[in-house]
Structure 1
Amino acid sequence: MKAVVLGAAAGGGYPQWNCRCAVCALAWDRDPRAPWRTQSSLAVTLDGDSWVVLNASPDLGSQIRATDALHPRQPRHSPIRAVLLSGAEIDQVAGLLHMREGAPFDLIALAPALAAVEANPMFAAVPARPVAATGAIALPGGLEAELFPVAGKVPLYLEGAAPQLQSEAGEAAGIRISGGGRSLLYVPGCAAVTDSLQAQAERADAVFFDGTLFTDDEMLRAGIGIKTARRMGHLPMTGPGGSLSWLAGLPAQRKIYVHINNTNPALIAGSPERLQIEATGVEVAQDGMEVEL
């Protein structure tokens, strides 16, 4: 099995178009320690011919152009045979609009994400076949998928005054892809490590996990936001109950942070935060990273 990180950043990308925080400033200045990253998405294949994409980020068009394996091979063709969604946030579904000129493909998600997409008339232009993820799902090219609820919340545009922040009703999902005797887990948004997530992570060969913020109050301290990581439905890397120590203890051969916010100093190669992460054996993704299992 082969996975390619199409995008490693959180919503807005890195650098974010309207931000010159200390972390973004390095990227705008083209500091080699801070390469640009597009919004989080993963492509996976077993046979090298049929690919599935996990989350259709708003940057999907440019991500396809940057990835040779996803280029068309005929006058009208795409090796992308299915798209799987871990949720229905804008940065997870907006890229579907890039696929409106193509042939039908399977759109696989838990019921809440499918409902959110189907409720938006704009997506009627996309030739997607909705598939509700219940149990194991056979994918093109010999892969198999399983989607399961993880702790999270509804998309920002569906929030009320007091959204439930650790719901396990399916608004946020983890995605397991299996094939060739190997498996990977893709969880770009997660508010807590539950028993079900623990069980899934312990049997994965690679875990791609939510790396949104390094500390819970990162955006507040940077003076550019009013929400903590946990209020946004994300588990911070460090601090009480942070994800780093949990990831480091997993048996997976590769443990990789994805969905990294533009304020996160872990984006900077050689920073104290990056070195702290790497010392545990955990990696920080960048666009184009390839993982062979």
Structure 2
Amino acid sequence: MLRIVVLGAAAGGGVPQWNCGCQVCRAARDGQPELRSTQASVAFSADGVGWFLVNASPDLRQQLTATPQLHPKPGALRHSPIAGVILTNGEIDAVAGLLSMREGSPFTIYAHAKVLAILKSNSIFDVLGERTVRREPIEADRPFEPRLADGSSCGIEVLPFAVAGKGAWYLEGKAHPGGSDGTGDTLGLRITDKGTGKYFYFLAACAGLGDDLKSRLAGAPLLFFDGTVWRDDEMIAQGLGQKTGKAMGHIAMSGDDGAIAQLAGVAIGRKVFLHINNSNPALLAGSSERKTAERAGWQIPADGTEIVL
């Protein structure tokens, strides 16, 4: 039985973002606390005992406190059920939470060599001593089985694959620690329970949907997909930034080239948007954008949502 918990559903900055006075952030502060969301991450487990995280958001400590499944076991002075963290990119909102896991519990970081190179190049991540926190390189299109803390099987296979995207924004104009050749900056994941055959896809960042990716996703029981912006020029139109969604490495929800239209004809059991920016009007329950997304079969989850396959 594959269990998935949405630890956070928001894009970088969360909802409300600390310095933002947009419509969604104002509502989240003042009258609609249900809009509040931490930055995107999920946890998954095949047995409900050993858990793995997909990305480690800056809000990780808050997320772990709010998630009983990830608490230390009763009676233990020091314990964590988290056996590993799988990184799909090197952005701040995917890696900063690793620093909250520096208190000496063993786990493994699984990431592409390009992302591991980013961690190695920044000495602040040395607080995660490699004798306790192993760093395991993963490759696109090569499945692997993450291991529990004692090295035993977790019963789950993870298949990473490259998707359209871009490198971390803080490396723009700088030499990439992992080199400029090849893929690895943005990965999607297929996560499969080997016992039941149930699986789901996780793509928190995706800049475009080609035929190959749509074919890959066809038939999936569950998809977590990039929901950063509603329209490509959303940040510019609201006066919140100067970049389009595409320039940031994210496909829009709406439009002919957007996720809703592109995946409308693809057979997917449950479609869930994740990594949703505070600028996105689909966050508002009564908005026309939310109604459009829901009519198309998409869900916008709250933090703490649990799904069992």
How high is the sequence identity, in percent, across the aligned residues?
A: 46
- Structure 1 residues 84 and 121, CA, compared in 2 at 3 Å: closer, same or farther? same
Give yes or no for the alignment of 1:128 onto 2:133: yes
Higher mean C-alpha deviation, range 221-230 or range 7-16: 221-230
Offset, 1:101: 0.5
Offset, 1:273: 0.5
Give yes or no for the alignment of 1:160 onto 2:173: yes
SS class of match (1:124)? helix
Q: What residue ranges of structure 2 are gaps of 5+ in the alignment? A: 149-153
Higher mean C-alpha deviation, range 137-146 or range 250-259: 137-146
Offset, 1:118: 1.5
CA offsets 1:13-51 (integer angstroms, 9 cap, x no match): 00111001112111111325x520000000001100010
1:173 pairs with one of 156, 181, 187: 187
1:66-77 maps to which residues of 2 (within 5 A)?
Answer: 66-73=66-73, 74-77=76-79
Query: How does the TM-score come out when normalised to structure 2?
Result: 0.89
RMSD of aligned C-alpha atoms? 1.6
Q: What residue ranges of structure 1 are gaps of 5+ in the alignment? A: none
Distance 1:198 1:26 in 2: 35
Offset, 1:144: 1.1
SS class of match (2:188)? strand
Question: Which 4+ residue blocks in structure 1 deviate beyond 2 angstroms?
Answer: 194-200, 246-250
For residue 138 of structure 1, what is the aligned residue in structure 2?
145
Offset, 1:248: 3.2
1:270-285 maps to which residues of 2 (within 5 A)?
Answer: 270-285=286-301
Offset, 1:196: 4.0
Distance 1:123 1:243 in 2: 35
Give yes or no for the alignment of 1:259 onto 2:275: yes
Distance 1:199 1:45 in 2: 26
Distance 2:258 2:161 in 1: 21
The answer to whether the Cα contact below 8 Å between 2:255 and 2:261 also exists between their aligned partners in 1 is: no
CA offsets 1:156-200 (integer angstroms, 9 cap, x no match): 111128x9xxx9711100011100211111100110113442233
Query: How does the TM-score come out when normalised to structure 1?
Result: 0.94
| Structure 1 residue identity aligned to 2:257 | G
Higher mean C-alpha deviation, range 87-96 or range 136-145: 136-145
Size of the aligned set, in residue pairs, is 288
- Structure 1 residues 151 and 29, CA, compared in 2 at 3 Å: closer, same or farther? same
For residue 92 of structure 1, what is the aligned residue in structure 2?
94
SS class of match (1:228)? coil
The answer to whether the Cα contact below 8 Å between 2:214 and 2:263 also exists between their aligned partners in 1 is: no
For residue 118 of structure 1, what is the aligned residue in structure 2?
120
Distance 1:262 1:178 in 2: 31
For residue 8 of structure 1, what is the aligned residue in structure 2?
9
| Structure 1 residue identity aligned to 2:13 | G
Give yes or no for the alignment of 1:239 onto 2:255: yes
Offset, 1:203: 4.2
Distance 1:106 1:218 in 2: 37
